[in-house]
């Protein structure tokens, strides 16, 4: 697509300009690339935490190192629309790949934990570039008829990459250069399918009229849904094993609880995305919030009834991550192509801010009110979100009535 073609086109109109074969090749390139990128994240996150622990670092230090990576994504995301507008989508992704690979490879050559914070920040910046641009491109080539299904496939593949990362560490260990070479190699490999589809990539897209923060006020419900997803997702991943231990389960069972929940996040995205294309994405988003809240409220009551515990955890995980899947589809439906880079940047920022806020606030609630405050905090957040939706609908109906008089 040529410069300027996207200035007044919707994402659906941009997708319609491409042939089915071109759209398929673009989607295959994006999804293959994001699998390798997800594996890189899945390796580097636990790898650095384990190395900090091995070097007599504290758990707090490992947690802070992880947060630095998330904050780096928040830092770089507002600049991505301007970079894409100036250089195009693929050069920005390539820059993210090179920066990430270089930072990963330098880590084992440095002996001080303090320097690892700098490299973790650089990895976060690189992955932020890849994250925002990949999702923008995905939404530009996904047709509106199957946008939910494509978003579900994207979330599933990204989750598979995250899950595969720890398995790679188990296979290669954490000693020496090997895990870093493997991790950097995977992120470099992620560029290969993109190179093959380089003629299909969007070029200089976006408009200076659109900024990430401006899109927050244009689509507050979508951004709020993603914030809720980040808050709950990272709280559960961080604290569900702790919740299991504090409610009487053994460590192995507590970790199994998290495994079942993660399986739900991966397996349920495709059917939810498929259903969203047929019954309405916003309607299904509301249903998923309500089901997620119900699962959280039920958890303390059914905790020691295994026949109910596993399906509830599976369903809780699936409906929670579906908020991101459905929000991604709604974003492509809501924004024109020239605004998509800014809107996607704001969506990533919202998820990261929720992810940063969730674990400490939920952890503080558990310390103050006991372990069951963990699911109850998530249910409360869902209730606040639903109250916001109800208020928005009431305001919209009132405005419609007044304008009809």
How far from the centroid of its chain's Cα atoms is residue 174's Cα?
26
Kindly report the backbone phi and psi dihedral angles of residue 249, in degrees, each rounded to the nearest multiple of 5, phi listed first. -90, 155
Which pLDDT belongs to residue 42?
Answer: 81
Q: CB-based burial of residue 398 (10 Å sphere; 0-12 exposed, 13-18 middle, 19+ buried)?
A: exposed
Which pLDDT belongs to residue 9?
Answer: 44
Which pLDDT belongs to residue 170?
Answer: 82
pTM, to two decimals:
0.86
Which pLDDT belongs to residue 15?
Answer: 55
- b/e map of 349-383 (b: 16 or more CB within 10 Å)? bbbbbbbbebbeebbebbeeeebbbbbbbbbebbe
Which are the contacts of 217, defined by CB distance < 8 A and separation ≥ 6?
none
Residue keyed to tokens 């809720």: 228
Q: How far apart are CA 378 and CA 293, in angstroms?
A: 7
Which pLDDT belongs to residue 274?
Answer: 96
Where does the chain hold its CATH 1.20.1250.20 domain(s)? Answer: 11-206, 213-392
Integer-rounded Cα Rg, in Å, for the chain is 21
Kindly report the backbone phi and psi dihedral angles of residue 336, in degrees, each rounded to the nearest multiple of 5, phi listed first. -75, 160
Q: How far apart are CA 341 and CA 211, in angstroms?
A: 9
- CATH code given to domain 213-392: 1.20.1250.20
- CATH code given to domain 11-206: 1.20.1250.20
Kindly report the backbone phi and psi dihedral angles of residue 9, in degrees, each rounded to the nearest multiple of 5, phi listed first. -100, 145
pLDDT tens for the chain, 405 residues: list them.
333 333 334 455 555 556 777 778 888 888 888 888 888 888 887 888 788 877 766 666 776 777 888 899 999 999 998 898 888 888 999 999 999 999 999 998 887 788 888 999 999 999 999 999 999 888 888 888 899 999 999 999 988 888 888 788 888 888 889 999 999 998 898 888 888 887 777 776 666 567 778 888 999 999 999 999 999 998 888 888 889 989 999 888 888 898 899 899 999 999 999 999 999 999 999 999 999 999 999 999 999 998 999 999 999 999 999 999 999 999 998 888 788 888 999 999 999 999 889 888 999 999 999 999 999 999 999 999 999 999 888 887 877 777 766
Which pLDDT belongs to residue 17?
Answer: 58
Q: How far apart are CA 233 and CA 128, in angstroms?
A: 18
Which pLDDT belongs to residue 8?
Answer: 36
Which pLDDT belongs to residue 204?
Answer: 63
């Amino acid at each position: 697509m040529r410069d300027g073609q996207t200035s007044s086109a919707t994402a659906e109109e941009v997708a319609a300009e491409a042939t089915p074969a071109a759209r398929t090749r673009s989607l295959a390139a994006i999804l293959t690339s994001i699998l390798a990128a997800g594996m890189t994240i899945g390796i580097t996150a636990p790898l650095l935490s384990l190395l900090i622990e091995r070097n007599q670092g504290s758990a707090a230090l490992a947690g802070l190192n992880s947060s630095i990576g998330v904050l780096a994504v928040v830092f770089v995301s507002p600049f991505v629309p301007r970079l894409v507008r100036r250089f195009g989508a693929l050069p920005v992704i390539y820059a993210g790949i090179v920066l990430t690979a270089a930072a990963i490879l330098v880590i084992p050559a440095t002996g001080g934990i303090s320097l690892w914070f700098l490299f973790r920040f650089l990895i976060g910046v690189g992955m932020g570039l890849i994250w925002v641009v990949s999702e923008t491109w995905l939404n530009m080539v996904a047709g509106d008829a199957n946008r939910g299904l494509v978003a579900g496939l994207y979330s599933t593949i990204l989750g598979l990459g995250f899950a595969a990362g720890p398995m790679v560490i188990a296979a290669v260990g954490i000693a020496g250069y090997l895990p870093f070479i493997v991790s950097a190699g995977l992120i470099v490999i992620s560029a290969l399918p993109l190179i093959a589809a380089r003629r299909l990539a969007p070029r200089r897209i976006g408009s200076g009229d659109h900024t990430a923060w401006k899109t927050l006020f244009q689509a507050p419900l979508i951004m709020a849904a993603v914030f809720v997803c980040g808050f709950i997702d990272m709280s559960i991943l961080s604290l569900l094993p702790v919740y299991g231990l504090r409610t009487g389960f053994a460590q192995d069972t507590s970790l199994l609880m998290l495994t079942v929940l993660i399986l739900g996040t991966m397996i349920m995205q495709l059917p939810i995305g498929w259903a969203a294309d047929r019954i309405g994405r916003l309607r299904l988003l509301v249903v998923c919030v309500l089901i997620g809240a119900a699962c959280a409220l039920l958890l303390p009551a059914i905790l020691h009834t295994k026949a109910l515990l596993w399906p509830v955890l599976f369903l809780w995980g699936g409906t929670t991550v579906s908020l991101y899947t459905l929000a991604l589809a709604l974003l492509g439906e809501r924004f024109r192509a020239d605004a998509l880079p800014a809107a996607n940047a704001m969506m990533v920022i919202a998820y990261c801010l929720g992810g940063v806020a969730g674990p400490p606030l939920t952890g503080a609630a558990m310390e103050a009110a006991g372990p069951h405050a963990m699911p109850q905090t998530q249910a409360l957040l869902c209730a606040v979100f639903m109250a916001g939706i109800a208020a928005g609908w009431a305001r919209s109906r009132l405005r419609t009535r007044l304008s009809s008089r």
